[in-house]
Amino acid sequence: MPVLPIIGLQCSQLMERNHCLNGDDKAYRVLTILFFSFLFLRPCAQCPVNLGFESGNFSNWTCLAGAIDSVTQLRTAFPVPPIPNRHTIYQKGDQTKDPYGGFPVVCPNGSNYSIRLGNDSAFSQVDGVSYYVTIPAGKDVYSIIYNYAVVLQNPNHRENEQPKFTAKVLDLATNQYLECSSFDFAASSNLPGFKLSPRIKNASIYYKPWAPVTIKLLGYAGKTVKIEFVVSDCTLGAHFGYAYLDINEDCSTPISGNKVCLGAGSTTLIAPFGFREYHWFNADFTRELGTGNTLKLDPIPAVNTAFAVQVLPFPGSGCIDTLYTSIERSPTPFHISIADSVGVCTPATVDLTSPAVSSGSTGGLSFNYFTDSTLNEYLAQPEAVDSSGRYFIRTANAEGCIDLRPVNVIIDTVPSMEIHDPPGAYYPAVVDITQPSLVSLAAGGHPVFSFWKDAAATIPVPDPKAINVAGIYYIRATTKYGCNATMPVTVAIQIPPPPNAFSPNSDGINDTWNIPALGAFPQCTVDIYERSGRLVFHSLGYSKSWDGRFNGRALPVATYYYVIKVSEKLVPLTGSITLIR
């Protein structure tokens, strides 16, 4: 075995040695990792390389795997090469969703890679990863934000026997775990933030979708800590647990948003994630400014204005702490413009990542999407939002200026309506098809109505308030976001009923059957029949009234029947007329 060449290595060389084992030099690498990790670590003046798996592999991470002793029920893990299906990497763009929780396997925080530890095979497995972080010199206030999602089967064993997920931070100088940065979840039905999976009935599987947590390292400048994440099955070997991880490659102060760039009209202070309560105060604690892990500042206070936030953890997962920050200014331009609302017509979805949503904003910004203003719940698929609601977009630039803006998503529905035909009219009266009483809306909000001659809505009605031709027209209802429905409406316009009797006896009174309104319809036809069905009068147009004759012979007193066709668009007029001598 070669001699361990550790003394004199540069920081970057040491970091290259600290990765998941592979190849024939396994034993050599094991000793190298153990030796330099505990004895010869040197501070690196940079954000840890590949902390967020953005290299697409486990370099600089130590992979861990082991098993649960069936007798002692102890969970142990050792450095190993990455094991397929136990140390799994997912790349951005992978649309796979967790089979039990339905959340995406890739963290929706915008990073390129996420990992999964463990699987849903209950083989008494223990799986994990660890990373040795040296806090840069001069960084007495240093934070690491990581994101995790967990799936745990709950067999209702004793707590120490349950499937478990553990996150720990080890101070290498003292060999003590940092109490306020370490926690574990043992499977239970009352874990904060966990939900019962609906996918498999009676399986008692609980999951927590992606959520962020902040590790605050105060006073650790130049020191080294080990971050360790471990997940294990139940100790009795019949129930599983696994977890997803992604670490933000942005080593910043615990409170972000304190830097204000040129042009910003407001900013939002964001405290570390994962605490139960937040209480914001002014510098001398004489006034409480708000609760929640965000504090909107509008207008922006003067430079060096100080703020404090008291954070209270969930039971068993941290310590009460108070964090401080003050306003800084940057000459870098920073302008945010987020649409107030974005909508589509179902079944389409809204793409919040579309440039149109942030049109008018400064270039070079990064965006993260959340379902809540506290930024604890990532929006799983911001490029395909299928539920109406209020969402939140966190914007940031390279200088560290950030802001938080809401956006309303509206998934609109096709209007559901019923059309009532208007009452018929007699020429020359007109019909108004814009009357509100003609439409009954069952759904569809407050659409805009338009009026058309055809069902495809390509030929508009010139004057829908004054239709003077009978026929079928169309009313289209269109919502703000383009959902539309088109329904027919029938307009009935007739000529006034003609006289029902006349007396062609040459006395100068009612000697002809006269219909003055037909003068406006030169293409009309008038047909008059005897009771037997014989046609006794036909006219194209009605320039000459009927005088009660047929072929020059006066017809006898009787009842006759007429059919008047004014035009193809008007309803034919039928009836009877009595001829009197």
Residue where one domain finishes, among candidates 459, 494, 529: 494
Residue where one domain finishes, among candidates 376, 395, 412: 412
Q: Are residues 88 and 228 in the same domain?
A: yes
Q: Are residues 299 and 434 in the same domain?
A: no
For residue 161, what pLDDT is reported? Answer: 85
Q: Which residue has the tokens 């413009």?
A: 337
CATH number at residue 425: 2.60.40.10
How many helices, marked H, and strands, marked E, lie in the chain?
2, 39
CATH number at residue 517: 2.60.40
Q: Which amino acid is at 113?
A: Y
Are the CB atoms for 106 and 90 separated by under 8 Å? yes
Q: Are residues 368 and 335 in the same domain?
A: yes
Q: Are residues 515 and 446 in the same domain?
A: no
Average pLDDT over residues 335-345: 94
For residue 321, what pLDDT is reported? Answer: 80
In a domain, 106, yes or no: yes
In a domain, 32, yes or no: no
In a domain, 453, yes or no: yes
Q: Which amino acid is at 348?
A: A
- Give the C-alpha separation, 535 to 109, whole Å: 85
For residue 232, what pLDDT is reported? Answer: 93
In a domain, 369, yes or no: yes
Pick from 337, 340, 325: which is nearest to 400 by CA? 325
Strand order in the sheet with 341-345: 341-345, 402-412, 389-396, 366-370
What is the rounded average pLDDT for all residues in the chain?
85
In a domain, 52, yes or no: yes
Residue 33 phi, psi dihedral angles, 5° rounding: -60, -50
3-class secondary structure, 486 = strand
Average pLDDT over residues 99-111: 88
Q: Is the pLDDT of residue 569 over 70?
A: no
Residue where one domain finishes, among candidates 494, 526, 556: 494
Q: Is the pLDDT of residue 37 over 60?
A: no
Average pLDDT over residues 249-258: 77
- Give the C-alpha separation, 119 to 346, whole Å: 36
- Give the C-alpha separation, 206 to 191, whole Å: 9
**Residue 192, preceding peptide bond in cis (omega within 30° of 0):** no
Q: Are residues 408 and 336 in the same domain?
A: yes
DSSP 487-500: EEEEE-EEPPPPPS
Q: Is the pLDDT of residue 383 over 50?
A: yes
For residue 78, what are the domain limits?
A: 45-247
Confidence band (pLDDT; 50, 70, 90) for 165? Answer: very high
In a domain, 402, yes or no: yes
Q: Are residues 485 and 535 in the same domain?
A: no
Q: Is the pLDDT of residue 28 over 70?
A: no
For residue 354, what pLDDT is reported? Answer: 96
Are the CB atoms for 184 and 167 separated by under 8 Å? yes
- Give the C-alpha separation, 301 to 328, whole Å: 10
Pick from 10, 6, 35, 32: which is nearest to 19 by CA? 32
Q: Using the Cα atoms of residue 369, residue 373, residue 377 and residue 380 in order, give the sign of their dihedral.
A: negative
Q: Are residues 78 and 174 in the same domain?
A: yes
In a domain, 227, yes or no: yes
Q: Are residues 206 and 148 in the same domain?
A: yes
Pick from 554, 549, 548, 528: which is nearest to 539 by CA? 528
Q: Are residues 490 and 568 in the same domain?
A: no
For residue 46, what pLDDT is reported? Answer: 57
Q: Are residues 468 and 519 in the same domain?
A: no
Is the pTM higher than 0.95? The answer reads: no
